[in-house]
Structure 1
Amino acid sequence: MRFIMLTVLIDMISIGLIIPVLPVLVGNFTGSQADQAFWYGVVAFTFGIANFFGSPILGALSDAYGRRPVLLIGFCGLGLNFFATALSTALWMLLVVRLVGGAMQANVAVANAYVADITAPEDRAKRFGMLGAMFGLGFIIGPIMGGLLGGINLRLPFYAAGCMSLINLLYGYFVLPESLPADRRRPFVWKNINPFASLKALSQLKTVGPLVAVIACSGLAQFVLQSSWVLYTTFKFGWGPQQNGWSLAAVGVMSVLVQGVLLGRLLKRFSPQRLAVIGLISSSIAFALWGAASQGWMMYAIIFVNVFGLTVTSSIQSIISSAADSHSQGKTLGAVSSLNSMMAIMAPMIGAPLLGVVSHLPKGDWRIGAPFYFCALLQLASLILAYSHFQRQRRTRLANTIT
């Protein structure tokens, strides 16, 4: 577990480095805030659509040939992506680079499958929480470094991120062990890597099919948040790369605290199902409050209060993983990643236009929070769907017990 945790940590630091500065880099090629929002949405869209089609292929390859080689491909793809982004001098170059980078990057799905390989079903929620803590720690270190380096030179964080990816490539090649033994691998079949087919198979998993809609709605909310955060805080509070770096680091601190320290204790008191419901309630409220925030400090206050909201992903993911057999973890979690990639495609198509419509409003105007109000509605829909599904399962179990 310590090997994959370190791998994910380095990976997340490299990704976190560029988050505070990528929207600003896009803004250098545009003439207005509305154009900046639009073209940043297009850049995010290209990465998402490439990742949507690439993730199931790489997930299936990891089932056939092992997790380690596919992770190495992802590290190599990220490194090339970061260096090429740093050297981009026009918007079309950014689009091409993000397209290639998205197609080669499925590290999240493969890392989750790696954890599932080495963990008993009853311990997966806790282990996914530990992995989530590494994501959070990476998002503490990465955005702070990105904000500070971006204050020196806007392209410096991309070079730093590329170097981190190369470090991960070397670490993975020389140190990271394989988690999937040969007797648990399954042949690679092209017809099985259609992302839409993998989503259909995901919806047919016993006892969790309806949760696909929950993953979709909740994932869309998270990606709208991620794709809108930097531009939203820039438009509403006038924040630059450094302020955004610190705010994203605060999210990382809470993620580490909740998923690395509190999640195990919470799971002793709550089932993954109940924890998911409580988390969705917390997230719905948090999104609405972020949108309504009138001062920058309020964003931090909401981040630190939204404890249960940070447990949703690990809780739902453990339920999905436990429903898949040991031979299909890569494909199943690759399908989850594809679903998230589909949401990542849709998110900038929603968040960017919403920001573009309100970009002319004065700083501090509550209407600039339009993307976050939309996210709150999505989380509310996820809550209703999840609660209804878990209630149906509970009634079915009771009926079977009586019978």
Structure 2
Amino acid sequence: MTTPALLQTTAAPLGPRQTAQLAASGLVLIAVAYGLARFAYGLFVPAFRAEFGLDPGVVGLIGSSSYVAYCLAIYPAMMLTPRLGSRTMVVITGTLATLGTALVGLAPHAAVLAVGVVLGGMSTGLASPPLAHAVSARVAWPHRDRVQTIINAGTGLGVAVSGPVALVTLAHWRSAWLIFAAVALLATLWAAQSVPHARLARPGAERQGTGERLRSLLPDPLLPDGALRLHATAVLMGAATAAVWVFGQDVLTGSGGQSQFTATVAWSGLGLCGLLGAAVGDIAHRVGMRVAWGGSAVLIALATAVIGLLPGQVGLTAAACGAFGAVYIAMSGLILISAAATYCEQPAAGVGVAFLMLALGQSIGGSLVGGLLEGLGAAPAFTAAAGVALISAVLAPRHLASSQVR
């Protein structure tokens, strides 16, 4: 076994102002990559179905392609972040998000729409590892977990923004996606100025051959203590939450008969409540990982079941969407800080592997839920997803945060 790489840089920790800029620009970049380029797809499913004549199976397939692209982009993010540095990788992330959202807005047919969705999915695969790497390398120790979870909450911000934009543009969904592209471009420029050029210092790296360099960038060990539990948890959580992310809007307006306005308001509430997930690190330190994770999984199950079983109840489904948003961001934040702790010497790789497992679960879940929706309807499909969430309740990740394994 080779000696594990030590996460070290010659630069001093960032000052308070620079740390705040990193947290803010990272949050906005995550908002663009996850909330706009990836998860906004579910918000516009009714418009896409009407424009391109898509059936639920094709909707699920296109949605799942985003998760597949995410999976394919994770490994390059893990491999290249220590070599190229965090700043270079976030610029690539933002560029892909800009191109993907622009293609969706300009799509003449479903094939181009799918390409745009795939590029958006790739941007999410590249986003988290370099930001986690930058935080671990350059943020002072007492503030790392808080900054990590603040950045992770950007998904909620992106979803919250996409809702009002959709309402303002009404049937002009193309304008909405072109606005998303402009926002993505601005976020990329900000990140290029605010994210430090953190790299991994490896003694003797310049003397390694190409094969040795590639192997050395993999986690070592690949499965440290607690990793299997962490990855199983991430897969289950991804599969359980795909129902709402991919089909939530379509179920509210289709099966539930809600207006596009009320469904979009509920979706925006999902995003706004997601910002509450930024506090998950502090909460988990107080109550423990097992309690925080188990309670969150039960709430995810309840919210998913309400949306699938009672899609016509405006008040209940709005509350369920809000709860889902807050708890999803909290659970993904717990996965992030647990991954950074489990792979404490290579946090970019650890976060990449964990989020790969999360996306893999979402890809599987999106396809299965799409098939169930087409064959059986919303209630059985969403109930099945809620059941998977309950199963994940007993598999809390072992490590709470990086401070526990210092």
Of 232, 254, 265 in structure 2, the residue corresponding to residue 235 of structure 1 is: 254
Of 363, 372, 377 in structure 2, the residue corresponding to residue 354 of structure 1 is: 372
- Written as runs of structure 1 = structure 2, the 5 A alignment for 1:30-49 is 30-31=52-53, 35-49=54-68
Answer whether contact 2:238 2:365 (CA < 8 A) is retained.
no
**Aligned twin of 2:242:** 223
Answer whether contact 2:238 2:358 (CA < 8 A) is retained.
yes
Give the Cα–Cα distance (whole angstroms) in 2 for the partners of residues 114 and 321 of structure 1: 12
**Aligned twin of 1:337:** 355
**Aligned twin of 1:26:** 48
User: What percent identity do the matched residue pairs reach?
Assistant: 14
Of 364, 370, 384 in structure 1, the residue corresponding to residue 380 of structure 2 is: 370
Of 132, 143, 146 in structure 2, the residue corresponding to residue 112 of structure 1 is: 132
Give the Cα–Cα distance (whole angstroms) in 2 for the partners of residues 7 and 98 of structure 1: 23
Question: How big is each residue's C-alpha offset from its partner over 1:192-246, in whole Å with a ceiling of 9 and x where there is no partner?
Answer: 979xx979965x1223322211111012212232011111112122345443331
Residue 133 (1) aligns with residue 181 (2): no
Which deviates further from its counterpart, 85-94 or 286-295?
286-295
Residue 292 (1) aligns with residue 309 (2): yes
Q: How many residues align?
A: 370
Residue 386 (1) aligns with residue 406 (2): no
In structure 2, the CA distance between the partners of 1:280 and 1:198, relative to structure 1 (3 Å rule), is farther
3-state SS of 2:195 partner? coil
In structure 2, the CA distance between the partners of 1:266 and 1:54, relative to structure 1 (3 Å rule), is closer
Give the Cα–Cα distance (whole angstroms) in 1 for the partners of residues 76 and 342 of structure 2: 21
In structure 2, the CA distance between the partners of 1:172 and 1:302, relative to structure 1 (3 Å rule), is closer
In structure 2, the CA distance between the partners of 1:191 and 1:237, relative to structure 1 (3 Å rule), is farther
Answer whether contact 2:160 2:271 (CA < 8 A) is retained.
yes
Answer whether contact 2:296 2:331 (CA < 8 A) is retained.
yes
Answer whether contact 2:45 2:59 (CA < 8 A) is retained.
yes
- Written as runs of structure 1 = structure 2, the 5 A alignment for 1:74-153 is 74-105=93-124, 106-119=126-139, 124-149=144-169, 151-153=170-172
**Aligned twin of 2:292:** 275
Q: CA deviation at 1:54?
A: 1.6
Question: How big is each residue's C-alpha offset from its partner over 1:332-362, in whole Å with a ceiling of 9 and x where there is no partner?
Answer: 1111222223223213211211222245xxx
Q: CA deviation at 1:384?
A: 2.4
Give the Cα–Cα distance (whole angstroms) in 2 for the partners of residues 191 and 296 of structure 1: 57
Q: CA deviation at 1:191?
A: 8.6
Answer whether contact 2:262 2:314 (CA < 8 A) is retained.
no
Gaps of 5+ in 2: 1-18, 400-406
Answer whether contact 1:37 1:355 (CA < 8 A) is retained.
yes
In structure 2, the CA distance between the partners of 1:221 and 1:116, relative to structure 1 (3 Å rule), is farther
Question: How big is each residue's C-alpha offset from its partner over 1:108-132, in whole Å with a ceiling of 9 and x where there is no partner?
Answer: 3332333333346665443333223
What root-mean-square deviation, in Å, do the aligned CA atoms of Structure 1 and Structure 2 show? 3.2
Gaps of 5+ in 1: 360-367, 391-403
3-state SS of 2:55 partner? helix
Which deviates further from its counterpart, 290-299 or 263-272?
263-272
**Aligned twin of 1:363:** none
Give the Cα–Cα distance (whole angstroms) in 2 for the partners of residues 143 and 102 of structure 1: 19
Q: Report the TM-score when normalising by structure 1.
A: 0.80
In structure 2, the CA distance between the partners of 1:319 and 1:154, relative to structure 1 (3 Å rule), is closer
Give the Cα–Cα distance (whole angstroms) in 1 for the partners of residues 119 and 157 of structure 2: 27
Give the Cα–Cα distance (whole angstroms) in 2 for the partners of residues 154 and 229 of structure 1: 18
**Aligned twin of 1:314:** 333
Give the Cα–Cα distance (whole angstroms) in 2 for the partners of residues 20 and 350 of structure 1: 16
Answer whether contact 2:101 2:181 (CA < 8 A) is retained.
yes
Of 17, 35, 50 in structure 1, the residue corresponding to residue 69 of structure 2 is: 50
In structure 2, the CA distance between the partners of 1:270 and 1:122, relative to structure 1 (3 Å rule), is farther
Q: CA deviation at 1:141?
A: 2.0
Amino acid at match of 2:75: P
Q: Report the TM-score when normalising by structure 2.
A: 0.80
Give the Cα–Cα distance (whole angstroms) in 2 for the partners of residues 121 and 162 of structure 1: 35
Answer whether contact 2:248 2:307 (CA < 8 A) is retained.
no
Give the Cα–Cα distance (whole angstroms) in 2 for the partners of residues 206 and 7 of structure 1: 33
Question: How big is each residue's C-alpha offset from its partner over 1:131-188, in whole Å with a ceiling of 9 and x where there is no partner?
Answer: 2333323322222223322x05121111001101111222233x22315245269789
Amino acid at match of 2:287: F
In structure 2, the CA distance between the partners of 1:138 and 1:45, relative to structure 1 (3 Å rule), is closer
Give the Cα–Cα distance (whole angstroms) in 1 for the partners of residues 301 and 66 of structure 2: 27
